[in-house]
Structure 1
Amino acid sequence: MSKKQLIIETGSVAISVIFIIAAFILQSITGATPWYVIVLFGLSFAIGGFAKAKEGILATIKDKSLNVEILMILAALGAFIVGSYSEGAILILIFSISGVLESYATSKTEKELTSLLELAPKTAILYIDGKESEVEIENLHIGDQVIVKVGQQMPVDGKIIKGETSLDQSPITGEFIPVYKKIGDEVFAGSINIEQTVIVETTKDPKESVVQKIITFVQEAQENKTESQTLINKIEKYYVYFVILFAISFMIFPPLFNWLPAKEAFRRGIVVLVVGSPCALVASITPAMLSSLSNAARKRILVKGGKTLEDMIGLKAVVFDKTGTITTGTPKVVDIITAKDQDRDYILNLLYTIEKQSNHPLANSVTAHLEKQKEIDNINTNEISGRGMTATIGEDHWKTGKFESKVTTKCNRELQSAKVKGHSIIYIIKNDEMIGFVALTDTIRDNVQEVTKALKNLNIKSVLLTGDHEDTAKAIALEAGIETYLANCLPEDKADYVKKLQKDVGKVLMIGDGINDAPALATADIGVAMGAGTDVSLETADIVFMNNNIENLPKIINLSRRMRRITIQNVIFSTSVIALLMITNLFGKIELPLGVVAHEGSTILVILNSLRLLFK
């Protein structure tokens, strides 16, 4: 629902309230119900009920079946027929108020979700042979170059080929800390350039960008319904006919067999239409689901519909990928060991100089760690793909990386210790003898231990799957607080393990970020992708953590459980009220005004209970 529609609907309810108040004031002054008071009640009924009547009629034509809106309109008309003008007007008023509350929940959710649909601009500045021209983004192709000036959004997924800057990626991730980007770095559509003009080469068709994947995800989230919601909708169709037939039977058979006077039987039949309507029951699911989706979206957790939240109930195990999920995916130097008979300061300067010539992630980590070292002049280096760097200085040949060499006994003990800890190793080799090494490790994300502890408190098993070797997997699992792990996993191994886990323990959630995680994400009952993940993982997943925060996991699990609790509360409360009012009416112990207030009041209470899910 648009903001304009919500304002119109709210305004109609406000006008309806004014007419009802005016009618009651005039009624109290005159001590009767003259024609103009009836007209005021009638106007309140017509204005307040117009939106719901229109909605009900259109839905009836579309679905070729009656619905709760039609049932309430019939009940209000019946109240007018028996002379209960105020009750009919109040019935529609309260029904409309409940509708506005439900529309508010819908609008709130749409606002949180559709804000993600405006992540990228519609046009870009195309750069060809020094000339600039504004074009529609949909007309760009892979390889096209675009200029992005300060304050503008990145129009495409690509890489910087000229300039350097800092980007505000909060529209994508929700993280407000600027991220520094230089030549060769990858950038995403929707990020805001906040420092200097850069030229970006398009590396992906705009139709296939991360932003477009998110937009598709959002559209699916808005369309998907929970299984409970679908079930309630099915029940509603048949239940409406049951209530109408029951009301008609109440009007016909008691007078026919002299059980009740015709007028009293008709009155009670109208009460059946009022109190038997499943308004509160119908409102038990949708507002709760919409409020939950809105709450999640505000936390930058994108959920592919209410069904996904419902599927999380009864979760037994969470399977974690390592790189980019449990860890940041950014290697960090933990130690640099050099043989005692070597000039350590010279080796560090040399290492800094050599590694600075490489763009490999491990090399970048080394140079960042050694940024205070001095660079040695006039060194010619050569990079060997998959191996590392080589350099010649005088008569000495140096290598850094993964080269074969003699392992000196001078630092062998430290090397074996680093391998046991699961560290990645860059060998420092002089004339084919290893004289030192750099130990690096992928840093654990903040709060990972708190997440695994929270899962344990929720009686959910944590499992780590990784393609790394046994020592690394064991070290990471120990640090993360995960008892079960599996190393040396290929993509199909991860999917097979998820199937086994489903068979052994039950419902499984898989969380990952890489293309190698896609098979397991698709196999799991619920797939969760980190926001910085690949397109394939984003497409396969049911949930995306756009801000890349692993601590979102217990949050979304708890939110799904809260949604289930509140939904159950709503269903039990609404059905209990209907049953109580129907039984009371059978014995003639309830008047129409009380029936209206009790029934419609229960609907409002159910919706207000659901709106609690918008917060916390």
Structure 2
Amino acid sequence: MTKKQLMIETTSVIVSVAFIAAAFILTQLLGQETWYVILLFGLSFLFGGYAKAKEGVLATIENKSLNVEILMILAALGAFIVGNYSEGAILIIIFSISGVLESYATSKSEKALTSLLKLAPKTALLYKDGVESEVEISNIKVGDQVIVKVGQQVPVDGKIIKGSTALNQAAITGEFVPVYKEAEDSVYAGSINIESTIIVETVKDPKESVVQKIIDFVENAQENQTKSQSLINKVEKYYVYIVILIAITFMILPPLVGWLSWDDAFYRGIIVLVVGSPCALVASITPAMLSALSNAAHHRILIKGGSHLEDMIGLKTVVFDKTGTITTGVPKVIRIETLESVDREQVLKILYTLEKQSDHPLAKAVVDHLGSDYLLDHIKTNEISGRGMEAIINNSTWQIGRFESTVHDEMKEKIDKCSLLGHSIVSIIKDQKVVGFVALMDTLRENTLSVMNTLRSQGIRTILLTGDNENTASAIAKEAGVDSYEANCFPDDKVSRVKKLQKEYGKVMMIGDGINDAPALAIADISAAMGTGTDVSLETADIVFMNDRLENLPKIIKLSKRMRIITLQNVVFSTGVIFVLMISNVFGLIQLPAGVVAHETSTILVILNSLRLLFK
């Protein structure tokens, strides 16, 4: 429901309340219901019931079946027919008020979710032939250049071709610490430029950008129903007819057997239409689902529909990819070793100077670790594809990487030890002899060990599947605290392993981030991707951790359990209220006003109970 529709419905209810209040005041003053008092009740009925009647009629035409709204309108009309004008008007007004409250509650539940729909800017400053012009995002093509000034949102996924700045990527990742970006660095649509003007070249169609995919996922998530929700919607269609049949039976059968008069029987039948209506039951699932999805979105967890959250119940095994999932994918220097016979300071300077000229991730890690104080001037380097860096310095050939060489026994022992620990080795070679090496290792994501311990305490098995070698896989698995691991896995190996785990243990969740994870993500019962993952993994996964935090996993498991508990509470409570009110009506223990208040109050309580999922 749009804000305008909600405002119109709210205004109609307020006008309806004014008419009914005036009618009651006149009744008290006059001591009777005159024709103009009845007219006021009728106007209250029309204003208060119009929106719900229209909604019910349109839904009936569309679905070709009666619904709750039609049931309540019939009950109110019945009350008017038997001369209970005030009670009919009260029924409609309370039903309309509960409907407005439900709309406001749903709107609040959707707020965090729909806020993601505002991530992408609508226009961009196109820069062409030295001239800038404002254009619609839809008109931007791959290769186009756009200007992003301070305070503006980056309009496209692209790379910086001129300038440098700090970007606030909180809208995409949830991380509020600005990220420094310079020429050739990638930037995402939706990020905010906070330092200086940059020119960005578009590398992806705006319709395919990360932020647009997020928007598409959100829109689909709101339409995706849980299994429980679908079941209740199916039951509602038949239940409405059952209630109408019971009401008609109540109106006809008791007078025929001499139990009630025709007037009393008709009145009791109207009460059946009111108290038997499944308003609270229908409202048991949707507000809870939307509240849970909004809670997750607030924590930068995008769940593509309530059904995926419901699927988390009964999870037995979680399978993790390594690089980019339980590790950051950014290598870190663990140690640098050199022979005692060489000048270590000079070796480090040569190491830094050669690696400075390489774009390889391992080289960048070495450069970041050493710092610029080690730079040598006027050194000509050569990069050998698949091998590393090479240079002639003081008539000696220096090589950094993987080249043909001999290894001193002293150095070989240290290299073997680091290899067993799963470290990546970059050799430092002088004239085909290894004089030192750098040991690097992928770093674990923060809180990885605590996440594994939490899952283990919940009886969930954790498994690492990686394409890395045995030593690296073993070292990472031990540090991460997973229950078991498998190394040297190709994409089809991961698929086979997930299928095997499903047969052995039951429901399996897969978490990954790369193209090679997509097949396993698709075959798992439920899947999650890290927000900085590839397009394929983001599209395949049921859940996206937009902030790349692994601790999101225990959060959504807990959230899924809370959603299940609250929806069960709602269903049990709503059906219990209907049962008690129906039995009370059989024995004549309840009047129409009391039935209306009890029934609609139960609906409001169910909605408020669901809103608890917005918090924690």
Superposition TM-score, scaled by structure 1 size:
0.97
Does residue 504 of the first structure (1) align with residue 525 of the second (2)? no
Q: Distance in 1 between matches of 2:424 and 2:145?
A: 37
> Counterpart in 2 of 1:185?
185
User: CA offsets, 1:419-449, max 9 Å, x none?
Assistant: 1111111111111111111111111111112
Show structure 2 runs of 5+ residues with no match: none
Matching of residues 258-269 of structure 1 within 5 Å: 258-269=258-269
For 2:549 and 2:90, locate their aligned partners in 1 and report how far apart those are by CA, in whole Å.
48
User: 2:240 and 2:174 mapped to 1: Cα distance?
Assistant: 45
Task: Check whether the contact 2:124–2:136 (CA below 8 A) recurs between aligned residues.
Answer: yes
Partners in 1 of 2:26 and 2:408 — Cα distance? 103
Runs of 5+ in structure 1 lacking a partner?
none
* More displaced 10-residue stretch of structure 1: 243-252 or 207-216: 207-216
Q: Which residue of the partner structure matches residue 163 of structure 1?
A: 163
1:611 shift after superposition: 1.2
Check whether the contact 1:9–1:100 (CA below 8 A) recurs between aligned residues: yes
**Alpha-carbon deviations, 1:264-298, whole Å to 9, x = none?**
11111111111111111111111111111111111
1:342–1:572 Cα change, 3 Å: same
TM-fit CA distance, 1:559: 0.9
C-alpha distance in structure 2 between counterparts of 1:389 and 1:106, whole Å: 60
| Aligned counterpart, 1:135 | 135
Match of 2:246 in 1: 246
Contact in 2 for aligned 1:151/1:194 (Cα 8 Å)? yes
Deviation at 1:133, TM superposition (A): 3.2
Is the Cα–Cα contact under 8 Å of residues 105 and 291 in structure 1 kept in the other structure? no
> How far apart in 2 are the matches of 1:416 and 1:435?
15
Deviation string, structure 1 residues 2-50 (Cα, Å, up to 9, x no partner): 2222233233333333444444444444444344443333333322222
1:32-88 superposed Cα distances (whole Å, 9 cap, x missing partner): 434444333333332222221111111011111110000011111212222333332
What is the alpha-carbon distance in structure 1 between the residues aligned to residue 516 and residue 59 of structure 2?
Answer: 45
Look up the match of 1:479: 479
The answer to which of 212-221 and 272-281 deviates more is 212-221
Matched, 1:304 2:304: yes
Distance 2:18 2:341 in 1: 93
SS at 1:397's partner residue? Answer: strand
Please give the per-residue CA displacement for 1:234-264, whole angstroms capped at 9, x wherever unaligned: 1111111111121112111222232321111
* 2:214 corresponding residue in structure 1: 214
Residues 120, 212 of structure 2: 8 Å contact kept: no
Q: Hey, what's the Cα distance between the residues in 2 that align with 1:29 and 1:548?
A: 68
- 1:344-423 to structure 2, matched below 5 A, reads 344-423=344-423
Q: Which residue of 1 aligns with 2:67?
A: 67
Query: Contact (CA 8 Å) 2:158, 2:187: kept in 1 or not?
Result: yes
Whole-Å separation in 2 of the counterparts to 1:126 and 1:386: 39
Q: Does 1:336 align with 2:339?
A: no
Contact 2:148 2:198 in 1 (8 A): yes
Cα distance change, pair 566–390 in 1 and its aligned pair in 2 (3 A): same
Per-residue CA deviations over 1:304-349 (Å, capped at 9, x if unaligned) read 1111111111111111111111011111111111111111111111
The answer to which of 496-505 and 593-602 deviates more is: 593-602
Q: For residues 207-254 of structure 1, give each alpha carbon's deviation from its aligned partner in whole angstroms, at most 9, with x where no partner exists.
A: 222122212211211211111111111111111111112111211122
- Where 2:374 maps in the other structure, the secondary structure is coil
- Could you tell which deviates more after superposition, 128-137 or 282-291? 128-137
Q: Which residue of 1 aligns with 2:88?
A: 88
Q: Which amino acid aligns with 1:564?
A: R
Contact 2:109/2:287 (8 A) holds in 1? no
SS in 1 for 2:316: strand
Alignment partners' CA distance in 2, 1:465 and 1:84: 70
Query: Which amino acid letter does the alignment assign opposite residue 88 of structure 2?
Result: G
Aligned to 1:558: 558
Tell me, what secondary structure is at the counterpart of 2:195? Answer: coil
Aligned to 2:517: 517
Corresponding residue SS for 1:291: helix
Q: Give the equivalent residue in structure 2 for 1:613.
A: 613
Q: Distance in 2 between matches of 1:376 and 1:222?
A: 58
Residue 5 of structure 1: aligned partner: 5
Separation in 2 of the partners of 1:419 and 1:101? 64
Partners of 2:609 and 2:432 lie apart in 1 by: 72
How many residue pairs are counted as aligned between the two chains? Answer: 616
In structure 2, the residue corresponding to 1:166 is in which secondary structure? strand
The 8 Å contact of residues 105 and 290 in structure 1, kept in 2 or not, is answered as: no
Aligned 8 A contact 1:291 1:613 in 2: yes
- Output the CA distance in 1 between the equivalents of 2:425 and 2:36: 90
Structure-2 separation of matches of 1:97 and 1:239: 23
Q: After superposing the two structures, state which structure 1 stretch, 264-273 or 190-199, moved more.
A: 190-199
Report what 1:172 is aligned to: 172
Q: How far has the Cα of 1:136 moved from its partner? A: 2.7
Q: Conserved in 2, the CA contact under 8 Å of 1:333 and 1:438? A: yes
Question: Deviations for 1:491-534, whole angstroms, at most 9, x for unmatched residues?
Answer: 11111111111111111111111111111110111111111111
Please give the alpha-carbon distance, in whole angstroms, between the structure 1 residues aligned to 2:403 and 2:10. Answer: 73
Rounded to whole Å, the distance in 1 between the matches of 2:473 and 2:228 is 40
Q: Secondary structure at the match of 2:166?
A: strand
Quick check: 2:113–2:297 contact (8 Å CA) kept in 1? yes
Q: Is the 8 A contact 1:45 1:89 kept in 2?
A: yes
CA distance in 2 between partners of 1:86 and 1:415 (Å)? 90
Q: Is the 8 A contact 1:529 1:541 kept in 2?
A: yes
What code does the residue aligned with 2:416 have? Q
Cα distance in 1 for residues equivalent to 2:403 and 2:109: 56
- Cα pair 2:276 2:578 within 8 Å, conserved: yes
Q: After the TM superposition, which residues 89-104 of structure 1 pair with which residues of structure 2 at under 5 Å, given as runs?
A: 89-104=89-104
- How far apart in 1 are the matches of 2:567 and 2:179? 41
The amino acid that maps onto 2:286 is T
| Range moving further from structure 2, 351-360 or 103-112 | 103-112
Moved more, 519-528 or 409-418: 409-418
Could you say which residue in structure 1 is the equivalent of 2:57?
Answer: 57
What code does the residue aligned with 1:43 have? L
CA RMSD of aligned residues (A): 1.7
> What SS does structure 1 have at the residue aligned with 2:153?
coil
1:155 match: secondary structure: coil
Amino acid at match of 2:517: D
* Counterpart position of 1:154: 154
Give SS of 2:46's match: helix
Deviation at 1:372, TM superposition (A): 4.9
Tell me the amino acid that sits aligned with residue 550 of structure 2.
I
Indicate the SS of the match to 2:390.
Answer: strand
CA deviation after TM superposition for structure 1 residue 358, in Å:
1.2
Q: Percent identity?
A: 70
Aligned equivalents of 2:128, 2:347: Cα separation in 1: 46
On the 8 A contact 2:291/2:614 being kept in 1, the answer is yes
Counterpart AA for 1:193: N
Kindly state the Cα deviation for residue 555 of structure 1 after the two structures are TM-superposed.
0.9
Shift of 1:144: 2.3
Cα distance in 2, alignment partners of residues 208 and 36 from structure 1: 62
Counterpart in the other structure of 2:225: 225
Paired residues of 1:422 and 1:472 also in contact (CA < 8 A)? yes
Tell me, in whole angstroms, the C-alpha distance in 1 between the residues paired with 2:559 and 2:35: 53
Q: Is the CA contact (8 Å cut-off) linking 2:110 and 2:291 kept in structure 1?
A: no
How far did 1:563 drift?
Answer: 0.8
**Which position in structure 1 is the counterpart of 2:437?**
437
Q: Which stretch of structure 1 is more off in the superposition, 409-418 or 520-529?
A: 409-418
